[in-house]
Structure 1
């Protein structure tokens, strides 16, 4: 690939960290019946464990452009992985549904940064003639994680509990943090003068949030006033 051994190790850490986070998009689905039974919530409420994760993920991805300019690759990667690890631990503890959902949202905040960050790193690390190969390999990882998520989660839940599933994810992501602290290079120039377009962040959050809430509520409860209002706010 035309890369040094140190660069290959660095990229392996970045890609594995991303794999662990994208795995979380689908691991919760097999756990929903257990969560519903343990916490006495209905299916539409439990579904917010996946819907909320997707929403926060979508909100964080555009913000990552600002964060990538503002912070070094190493710092941003480690901070996002620490956030993700904290969310995984919180979800694993999950004494009630509110705490479990909060853990999932914290997970999503960290995961939403990693995917665009790693794609950017691949672009400036690989030579021009090798970028297609790099992006192809990264695409396989991104597709493979969600694909095996339900199977891996189902095996764990059959032999243990959904709490243990999140604890395993916590251990994996913590290992990535420790290894990354030693092998990652700073990478990338920072621009302290860059500013965050706050109105755009607020509007995109309202747009994604309104549409997701409205359509999810319509799917579960039909055409209610709050669902229609949320959808209209999102569209506008």
Structure 2
């Protein structure tokens, strides 16, 4: 590899005497409440539409705008973590999140509420890259699995309890309490981190490439916005605001990629893909996010549209699996440290494919107990795959690629998430429409429920295809030792 164009190595930092656990706890507390807030508000949208007098497409900006800011900020995090210390990055991110939470809580109308959500998103967008990069610096490769498993617990546990917790709060309090109750914990996180969080890296302050930042913002922002908007009442893919932003985003990403391979100090060093296991990790992560969203996005439609369940009841059925996924993540992390990725990822992908096949067999007559068991099983399978795969890929990187590797993987999660939701909901809607077109009584509630089930079935077939592809890719995975030069 030509070192003239390599990512600049971070300045050495003395970690002797640094206590890892308080640092990890500081980061996890902040990450938990910032990620929790991603799913806390969605269930309150109907109430907010009435109180703030806005339409559903306008209200959806509270979700789309959040996703957009995170998608734009994560790529830039590779540069920011080299410009600022660990404490500066974390405290800055949590301060943004806390200010945004306060603004949301006191917002008199929709535009102020949206500003608060975007500030929250800015804090969240900077949180996970800082968390993952700090663990890569702080823990040696043989101990990273357990530490990354702790991240998995937070990533899955927080959004899992969000809708259920939100439903409980809204049963007795107004929507503003969704923010008021988070606020003291956010402030506590800042105070705790101010005391216990230590710097684990020395800023190198590489050159700021303004052109790369602009291309990254337009590229990732356009892709995330376009796919997120495609199913949100904007006219679908026939709307110029949807396909236009995706095309502009795609062209910008192509130019961004070309530029990253040419400049001396890239914003996001794509040479990390010269490490084969990291490349495999990126592919697996995209597939897993698509498969995950095939269930997370489709099951609520099936539960509420075909089975007639309430939002709260739907959340309760999906809660045990998501919670179990979070609690198992630290266990799979420790097993990864001991046995390596193949012992977890290969059985996990096979198990996932089997469960996805069972999902293709469900109907309106399937019992709630079966759905509960299937969801638990699929979340266990995902816990066996996600963090072990991610940890193994990052372990292969040389230290100078840590910020870039974490930024790449976190960006891919945002993009794959946006694409996954649009893709599977699009397939579901198409199948639903096709069923009703061939129905003798399309206005019949029973036929409408059957149409929803048919559309979800079609989408699950594609999810099964992604799961089978994951099985094939898992066979190529092998345990890596951290090195300082990429493989040829």
Query: TM-score when scaled to structure 1?
Result: 0.92
Q: Deviations over 1:90-112 (max 9, x none)?
A: 11111111000110001111111
Matches within 5 A, 1:155-194: 155-192=168-205, 194=206
Q: Deviations over 1:33-59 (max 9, x none)?
A: 111011111111111111111110111
Matches within 5 A, 1:87-236: 87-192=100-205, 194-219=206-231, 220-222=233-235, 223-236=238-251
CA distance in 1, matches of 2:18, 2:225: 46
What is the aligned partner in structure 1 of residue 40 from structure 2? 27
TM-fit CA distance, 1:142: 0.9
Question: What RMSD, in angstroms, separates the aligned Cα atoms of the two structures?
Answer: 1.9
What is the aligned partner in structure 2 of residue 68 from structure 1? 81
SS across alignment from 2:200 = coil
CA gap of 1:217–1:75, structure 2 versus 1, over 3 A, is closer
Matches within 5 A, 1:40-79: 40-79=53-92
TM-fit CA distance, 1:226: 3.1
**Per chain length, whose mean CA-contact separation is higher, i.e. which structure has more relative contact order (CA < 8 Å, sep 6+)?**
1
8 Å CA contact retained: 2:71, 2:224: no
Q: Deviations over 1:74-120 (max 9, x none)?
A: 11111110011001111111111100011000111111111010111
CA gap of 1:216–1:184, structure 2 versus 1, over 3 A, is closer
CA distance in 1, matches of 2:100, 2:181: 13
TM-fit CA distance, 1:4: 7.8
Q: 7, 11, 35: which one pairs with 2:24?
A: 11
CA distance in 2, matches of 1:198, 1:5: 35
CA gap of 1:221–1:187, structure 2 versus 1, over 3 A, is closer
CA gap of 1:121–1:230, structure 2 versus 1, over 3 A, is same
SS across alignment from 1:190 = coil
CA distance in 2, matches of 1:22, 1:182: 22
CA gap of 1:41–1:123, structure 2 versus 1, over 3 A, is same
| Number of residue-to-residue matches in the alignment | 233
CA distance in 2, matches of 1:5, 1:67: 23
Note the residue ranges of structure 2 that are not aligned, 5 or more in a row: 1-15, 252-488
8 Å CA contact retained: 2:64, 2:229: no
TM-fit CA distance, 1:5: 9.2
Query: TM-score when scaled to structure 2?
Result: 0.46
CA distance in 1, matches of 2:228, 2:77: 26
CA distance in 2, matches of 1:131, 1:210: 34
Q: Deviations over 1:128-162 (max 9, x none)?
A: 32111111221121111111111111111212122
CA gap of 1:217–1:187, structure 2 versus 1, over 3 A, is closer
CA distance in 2, matches of 1:7, 1:28: 33
Q: 48, 52, 59: which one pairs with 1:39?
A: 52
Q: Which has the higher helix share?
A: 1
CA distance in 1, matches of 2:215, 2:157: 32
TM-fit CA distance, 1:173: 0.8
